[in-house]
């Protein structure tokens, strides 16, 4: 049955609102739901960061009204000290900021939203392979996120043991709560298990869809790079998340039933003395299980953004993506190597020189496929007839920002340097250069690129520029000083920005305190930049809403003159996606071919023949018989 006939049949069955928009099984609606949910969580996580930055820059000043209005008086009395952020509150916000941005924000936006909406369209599929599984994955994500965030209102507050949730700290936290199921730290673990289950269901769905539902003629090396990236991302999730889910369940058992998977013997606290534990657990085991997921997770964050940029560059340079095949193989190698570098996060645990040398080597090796991917996209710009559309501007900015993030990570590959830089702001600056001006710029590019297909209207260019240029400046003012402070020794968990060390340096010889004093003014610069960054996201939010109703309408289903299959669908795509049975005749990036009258040759366009193909003069069987007779 063709997609057109499916559309005709569906016209006679109108779904109720709750089934069409809330519990939909359509991949496009689910993709939009992921995007809206991830956007809401990103805004909340960004707000937590603003509060933390205020505490770092102005530790003796209460939160201003524009930051404290969200809190109730009871909450302020419990978690603020005369309106000022305390160390405990800072730890809570820091743990939840990292958790929300990674697990509830960037991953669902890149893989859940873009992956769900675009992947079936690019392979010519009517939907995902398992639509109901897709819906289940979405609502497990929503449940996990809400459970984590609702813990802010519990007596214990939300989790405070860092986004990595290391034992034994995470196993001991909130012990004063009688019912451990009502402790924020426990709720964090329950939410994590639900989020991982959601990702596992989604990854199985993506892998099956890409392998089984490709259109006729869509061979592996005709797949758009976006689809390859989603396939590798799905395998990373499928293979890396189960160890962390097991670790989360074991840590949950440590908290609620008194097991000691990660809790060692002889733990002592000032309030409780020697803890009554079964003991003999291994805190290092949790770190290994966490970081076995933690480093592939970096590429789960990165690859969807990289995929968006790889689609936008050839479309706006009007030339093929340079090195498509090497890029595909680099992607696969990157995915494999990401599983054997995890312990470079653990150099401080005392590993021997042999093991540390192995992980130093693999960490340096993983930079090679990353360089291949980045270099190929930079070379793709060379000699192109570049159209500086809004998607292209964001995509072009992604390249140097991601380059800075990658280059600043190289020193951390070596344990000698990492011993000094570990847990400093250098690590924060490196990681955020990858995630914020890197990954988020790529995802912003994707929003501007596919918005016309989703809505039938373009986003406004003026608001787009007002969003891009201040964001570019603010992000660099926010994250580059972190690299300077990190090399000066600033620790990532100082809620007062290092002020205590300055006091020790006064009137005495304290070299470290004097070093802190020379760089502490950067705290105010970064806080101002963070607030400016927040303000200049408003044009984007306004643009998203205003353009939906009053934006310039597209004049065709393919407004960018692109070549991949999603631009062959109606705008916006209906149920079943395609009004014809799609077939693919060529690669994904056929631009500026000299043998074609236009500067783009879509995958779905049938090749033109100047004359009908010649009929064979003999039937194949008769031809074989004739050849055998000639031999005799």
List, for residues 444-498, the tens digit of each pLDDT value. Answer: 999 999 999 999 999 999 999 999 999 999 999 999 999 999 999 999 999 999 8
- Using the structure block, give the residue that is written with the tokens 């240029």: 469
- Residue of 179, 143, 177 whose CA lies nearest to 160: 177
DSSP state of 83: T
203 vs 74, residue with greater confidence: 203
Q: Note whether residue 148 is domain-resident.
A: yes
Let me know how long the chain is: 632
Rounded Cα distance between 254 and 251, Å, is 5
Contact at 8 Å (CB) between 395 and 453? no
Give a yes or no: residue 592 inside a domain: no
pLDDT score, position 611:
46
pLDDT, tens only, 483-542: 999 999 999 999 999 888 876 655 667 778 888 888 999 999 999 999 999 999 999 999
How many domains does one find in the chain? 1
pLDDT at 623 over 50: no
In a domain, 603, yes or no: no
DSSP, residue by residue, 168-180:
THHHHTTTT-SSG
| pLDDT of 424 strictly over 50 | yes
Does the pLDDT of residue 3 top 70, yes or no?
no
What span, in angstroms and rounded, lies between the C-alpha atoms of 541 and 530?
17
Q: Are 428 and 482 in contact (CB under 8 A)?
A: yes
Cβ(189)–Cβ(251) under 8 Å?
yes
Rounded CA-CA distance 10/4 in Å is 10
- Average pLDDT (24-37) is 96
Mean pLDDT of 400-416: 94
Query: How does DSSP assign 105-126, residue by residue?
Result: IIHIIIIIIIHHHHHHHHHT-S
Helix (H, G, I), strand (E, B) or coil at 583: strand
Q: What is the pLDDT of residues 125-177, one digit of tens each?
A: 999 999 999 999 999 999 999 999 999 999 999 999 999 999 999 999 988 88
Q: What was the pLDDT predicted at 446?
A: 97
Centre a 10 Å sphere on the Cβ of residue 55 and count the other Cβ atoms it contains. Answer: 24
If one compares 1 and 399, the residue with the highest pLDDT of the two is 399
User: What pLDDT sits at residue 133?
Assistant: 96
**pLDDT at residue 126, rounded to an integer:** 95
Binned at pLDDT 50, 70 and 90, residue 618 comes out as: very low
Residue 32 or residue 76, greater confidence: 32
Q: Is the pLDDT of residue 335 over 50?
A: yes
Tens-digit pLDDT profile for residues 94-135: 999 999 999 999 999 999 999 999 999 999 999 999 999 999
Picking from 38, 40, 20, the residue whose alpha carbon sits closest to that of residue 29 is 20
Q: Which residue has the tokens 């908290």?
A: 255
CATH number for the domain including 445? 1.20.210.10
Separation of alpha carbons 235 and 335, rounded Å:
8
Q: What is the pLDDT of residues 595-615, one digit of tens each?
A: 888 999 999 999 877 645 444
Residue 604, domain member (yes or no): no
Look up residue 586 and give its two tokens: 């060529």
Among 224, 200, 215, smallest CA distance to 304 is for 224
Sign of the C-alpha dihedral computed for residues 481, 482, 484 and 488 taken in this order: positive
Share of the chain above pLDDT 70, in %: 93
Segment 246-277, tens digit of pLDDT:
999 999 999 999 899 999 988 888 888 888 88
Per-residue pLDDT at 387: 95
Taking CA atoms, 220 is separated from 66, 213, 292, 327, in Å, by 52, 12, 29, 13
Q: Is 212 exposed, middle or buried (0-12, 13-18, 19+ CB in 10 A)?
A: exposed
Residue 504, pLDDT score = 62
* DSSP code for 19: I
Examine residue 577 and state whether it is found in any structural domain, yes or no: no
Q: What is the pLDDT of residue 13?
A: 62
The pLDDT value recorded for residue 364 is 95
Six-digit token string for 439: 């990954």
* Helix (H) or strand (E) run with residue 80 in it: strand 80-81
Task: Give the CA angle between residues 149, 475, 410 to the nearest 5°.
Answer: 95
Instruction: For residue 96, report the phi and psi dihedrals to the nearest 5 degrees.
Output: -75, -30
Q: Six-digit token pair at 34? A: 């992921």
Q: From its phi and psi, is residue 124 left (phi > 0), alpha (psi between -120 and 50) or beta?
A: left
Looking at residues 12-31, what average pLDDT do you find? 83
- Nearest-CA neighbor of 446 among 38, 127, 124, 125? 38
Residues 319-327, mean pLDDT to the nearest whole number:
96
What is the pLDDT, as a whole number, of residue 505?
57
CA distance 546 to 536: 16
- Alpha-carbon distance of 402 to 438, in angstroms, equals 5
Annotate 221-286 with DSSP letters as a single string.
Answer: GGS-HHHHHHHHHHHHHHHHHHHHHHHHHHHHHHHHT---SS--TT-EETTTEE--------HHHH
Asked whether residue 2 carries a pLDDT value surpassing 50, the answer given is no
Contact 115, 230 (CB under 8 A): yes
CA distance 114 to 199: 14
User: pLDDT per residue over 177-196, tens digit each?
Assistant: 888 899 999 999 999 999 99
Q: How confident is the model at residue 617 (pLDDT cuts 50, 70, 90)?
A: very low
Query: Is residue 348's pLDDT more than 50?
Result: yes
What would the 3-class secondary structure string for 598-618 be?
CCECCCCCCCCCCCCCCCCCC
Positive or negative torsion for Cα 57, 63, 68, 74? positive
* Domain assignment present for 284: yes
Residue 610 located in a structural domain:
no
* 236, 299 Cβ separation under 8 angstroms: yes
Phi, psi (degrees; rounded to nearest 5) at 227: -70, -40
User: Which DSSP letter does residue 507 get?
Assistant: T
Instruction: Print the domain residue range for 491.
Output: 27-261+277-568
Q: What is the residue-averaged pLDDT of the chain?
A: 91
In this structure, is residue 19 part of a structural domain? no
Alpha-carbon separation of residue 569 from 125, 310, 378, 556, 589 (angstroms):
11, 21, 30, 10, 18
pLDDT tens digits, one per residue of 565-591: 999 999 999 989 999 999 999 999 999
């Amino acid at each position: 049955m063709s997609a057109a006939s499916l559309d005709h049949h569906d016209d006679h069955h109108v779904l109720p609102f709750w089934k069409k928009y809330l519990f939909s099984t359509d991949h496009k609606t689910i993709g939009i739901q992921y995007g809206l949910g991830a956007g809401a969580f990103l805004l909340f996580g960004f707000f937590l960061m603003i509060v933390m930055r205020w505490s770092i820059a102005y530790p003796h000043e209460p939160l201003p009204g524009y930051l404290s209005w969200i809190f109730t008086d009871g909450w302020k009395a419990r978690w603020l000290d005369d309106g000022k952020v305390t160390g405990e509150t800072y730890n809570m916000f820091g743990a939840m900021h990292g958790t929300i941005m990674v697990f509830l924000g960037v991953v669902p936006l890149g893989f859940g939203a873009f992956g769900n909406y675009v992947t079936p369209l690019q392979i010519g599929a009517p939907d995902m392979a398992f639509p109901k599984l897709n819906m289940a994955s979405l609502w497990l994500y929503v449940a996990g996120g809400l459970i984590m965030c609702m813990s802010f209102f519990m007596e214990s507050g939300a989790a405070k043991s860092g986004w990595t949730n290391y034992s034994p700290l995470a196993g001991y936290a909130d012990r004063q709560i009688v019912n451990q199921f009502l402790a924020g730290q426990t709720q964090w673990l329950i939410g994590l298990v639900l989020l991982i289950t959601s990702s596992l269901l989604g990854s199985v769905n993506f892998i099956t869809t890409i392998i089984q539902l490709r259109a006729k003629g869509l061979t592996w090396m005709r797949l758009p790079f976006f689809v390859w990236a989603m396939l590798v991302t799905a395998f990373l999730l499928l293979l890396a998340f189960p160890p962390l889910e097991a670790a989360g369940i074991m840590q949950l058992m440590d908290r609620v039933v008194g097991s000691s998977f990660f809790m060692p013997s002889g733990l002592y606290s000032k309030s409780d003395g020697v803890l009554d534990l079964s003991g003999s657990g291994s805190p290092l085991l949790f770190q290994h299980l966490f970081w076995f997921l933690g480093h592939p997770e970096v590429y789960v964050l990165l690859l969807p953004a990289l995929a968006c940029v790889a689609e936008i560059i050839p479309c706006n340079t009007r030339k093929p993506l340079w090195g498509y095949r090497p890029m595909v193989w680099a992607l696969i190698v990157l995915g494999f190597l990401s599983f054997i570098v995890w312990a470079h996060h653990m150099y401080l645990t005392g590993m021997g020189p042999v093991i540390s040398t192995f992980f130093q080597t693999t960490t340096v090796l993983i930079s090679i496929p990353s360089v291949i991917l980045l270099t190929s996209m930079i070379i793709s710009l060379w000699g192109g007839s570049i159209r500086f559309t809004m998607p292209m501007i964001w995509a072009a900015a992604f390249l140097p920002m991601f380059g800075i993030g990658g280059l600043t990570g190289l020193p951390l590959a070596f344990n000698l340097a990492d011993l000094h830089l570990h847990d400093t702001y250098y690590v924060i600056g490196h990681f955020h250069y990858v995630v914020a001006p890197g990954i988020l710029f790529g995802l912003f590019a994707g929003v501007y690129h596919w918005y016309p297909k989703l809505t039938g209207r373009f986003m406004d260019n003026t608001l787009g520029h007002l969003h891009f240029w201040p964001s570019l400046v603010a992000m660099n003012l926010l994250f580059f000083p972190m690299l300077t402070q990190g090399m000066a020794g600033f620790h990532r968990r100082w809620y007062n920005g290092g002020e205590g060390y300055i006091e020790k340096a006064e009137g005495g010889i304290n070299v470290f305190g004097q070093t802190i004093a020379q760089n502490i003014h950067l705290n105010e610069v970064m806080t101002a930049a963070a607030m400016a960054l927040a303000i200049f996201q408003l044009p984007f939010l306004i643009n998203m809403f205003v353009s939906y109703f009053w934006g310039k309408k597209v004049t065709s289903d393919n407004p960018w003159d692109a070549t991949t299959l999603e631009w062959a669908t109606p705008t916006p795509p209906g149920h079943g996606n395609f009004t014809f049975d799609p077939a693919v005749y060529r690669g994904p990036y056929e631009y500026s071919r000299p043998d074609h009258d236009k500067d783009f040759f879509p995958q779905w366009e049938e090749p033109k023949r100047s004359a009908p193909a010649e009929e064979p003069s003999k039937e194949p069987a008769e031809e074989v018989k004739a050849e055998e007779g000639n031999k005799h």
